[in-house]
Amino acid sequence: MDGELNLTPLLSAIGACLALGHCVDRFVFGLPGAGFVERFGRALILGLGLTGLLSLALDQAHILVGPASLGLAMAGTALLAVIGGRWRPVLAPQSIAPTRTPVQKMATVLMCVLAAVSLALVVRSAFVRPTFQFDALTRWMFKTRVLVTEGTLRGDISVDPGLWFTHQRYPPLAPHVSALPSWAMRAFDERHEFNTEDDRLDSAVYAWFAVALVCVLFGGVARRAGMLAGSFGAAWTASLPLIAYLAWPPPGSGAFSALADVPLAAFSLAAAFAVLEALEQRRPRAWLEACLLLGCVALTKNEGLPMVIACGLGIAVAGGRSRWRPALLTVGGAAVIYAALWGVFSMSFEGLDENYWERLNASAVSSGFTRIPMIVQAFFAGMLDFRQWNVTWLAAIMLVAFGWNRRRRMAARLMITIVCAQLLAYGFAYLVTKWTSARAEFVIREEGLDDPLTVLFGLTLGRLLLHVAPIAIALAAMTAPFEAPTEKGPQEATPG
């Protein structure tokens, strides 16, 4: 392996995702008033998500996934979006409040530069590093490799005794998306085979989820609270150690480490903004967009399933009684997408991951009560860990507290509910888990600990917090009172 990497297939793959996402965004969903950065981010996240969904749908329909079949599916979807866009209602644009003083303008530019440099480093790191994390190699990239070689993750290949999928039930949207550069490469060269000694071509796709995440956050915040707040949120998120440069704690979660945590965070944030748009009644098709993105959330990681329920709760809390029906429809739609594309099929596999549904009983919960102090302490310690989070969680809580007022009440209710519900779900999982491992047993013996949970915190808590951190940052940037409110400031629609 040398340091040179042919970027053409990777950039072609990203370009194809952008084109598909742009068609769907412009002609189906439409977001009047969105600037270039937000439209880029939305096109990217929608394109990556739709590509994964189409690839999964092809596989579900027993059509071999490959450059021809997937290319046709993407082109067909884009065409349908363009045709369907003729009936899209015309909406009034929502203007972005401009920065007012030279100091604000300079701060905005500086923070945008910081965000761009940070993201550029992430993308570049993904180009030059082979996959190195255990989970990335064995859970996500291994499935990508099998998919690229066999064209499917179903049928005989899924029960081949010579292949050991570490967690076969894990939803495979991310491996389907990351196979795209290989498909592009094969479109140029039919003999191309996946090279595990140089798997950078496919693993580099994961970094683009971080790009989409930051662009969506920037646009969503800027339209509501101005460019200054948008650029602040973007620079903050793009500089998060666990996204930008820190692949610790093991198994790590840097955006360049080919793990599905950053994709999950990106889909979750985009879904939260779509739900907010729907609640604010800015766009009639925002519910559909939220449903689609929540489907992607559920298909990215197991942790996406509670995220879907958390979003449903958020809709109910932020929208009041009148929103129970759209909440149920949105969550139900996402559940149908999940079940149709993976959930039902995955039931046929032996469950190696922990079955939390089985643990939903009184005895399991009551036996876990003694763990509550340990869990609460671990969450606080994790959030205050400067190495992983800088001052993120403390600052987010303070900024939301300073800025709490009626103007952002709906956004605050929605996003706080999502973050709290998701963290409660993780807390509950820690409460009832029976997890242990040979390594945990060894550590417990050597260090005189009394619960394998202490080892599990170190392995997982940073990544779990990452799933909701961008939503918390978006809310903090939106609500923070950086400027005194004015008559012409961005308005928030009242719930209808």
Partner 1 sequence: MNRTTLAQTVAMLVMLWAGFRWLPVDTEEPDDVLGRGDIQRMLFVDNELWRGRLNPLQVQSQARSMARGLGPVSRSRNIELLKCARSVKRAACPGDLIQIKGMPGNDGYILQYYLYPLRTTSRYSENGSRIDDPTHPNAMWIITGGLQPKFWETGRSIARREQGDACSVDG
Q: Which positions touch partner 1 (CB under 8 A)? A: 1-4, 111, 114, 118, 121, 124-125, 127-130, 132-134, 137-138, 141-142, 145-146, 149, 160-164, 166, 196-197, 232, 235-236, 239, 241, 245-252, 254, 385-388, 390-392, 395, 398-399, 402-403, 437-439, 441-442, 480-484
- Tally: H helices and E strands in the chain: 24, 0
**What's the closest the beta carbon of residue 249 comes to partner 1, in angstroms?**
7
Nearer residue to partner 1 within complex by CB, 328 or 398: 398
Q: How far apart are CA 183 and CA 176, in angstroms?
A: 10
**What's the closest the beta carbon of residue 132 comes to partner 1, in angstroms?**
6
> On the CB side of 280, how many CA atoms lie within 13 Å of its CA?
24
**What's the closest the beta carbon of residue 200 comes to partner 1, in angstroms?**
10
Nearer residue to partner 1 within complex by CB, 73 or 126: 126
Nearer residue to partner 1 within complex by CB, 127 or 428: 127
**What's the closest the beta carbon of residue 329 comes to partner 1, in angstroms?**
37
Rg (CA), the chain: 22
Residue (of 242, 243, 231) closest to 114 by Cα position: 231
CA dihedral sign of residues 259, 261, 263, 266: negative
Residue (of 339, 344, 338, 311) closest to 327 by Cα position: 311
Dihedral of the CA atoms 386, 259, 422, 299 (nearest 10)? 170
Nearer residue to partner 1 within complex by CB, 202 or 277: 202
Nearer residue to partner 1 within complex by CB, 110 or 328: 110
Q: At 60, give phi and psi (nearest 5°).
A: -65, -35
**What's the closest the beta carbon of residue 481 comes to partner 1, in angstroms?**
5
CB count, 10 Å around CB of 434?
Answer: 12
Residue (of 467, 435, 461) closest to 378 by Cα position: 461
**What's the closest the beta carbon of residue 123 comes to partner 1, in angstroms?**
11
Nearer residue to partner 1 within complex by CB, 259 or 291: 259
Nearer residue to partner 1 within complex by CB, 22 or 407: 407
**What's the closest the beta carbon of residue 291 comes to partner 1, in angstroms?**
33
CB count, 10 Å around CB of 477?
Answer: 31
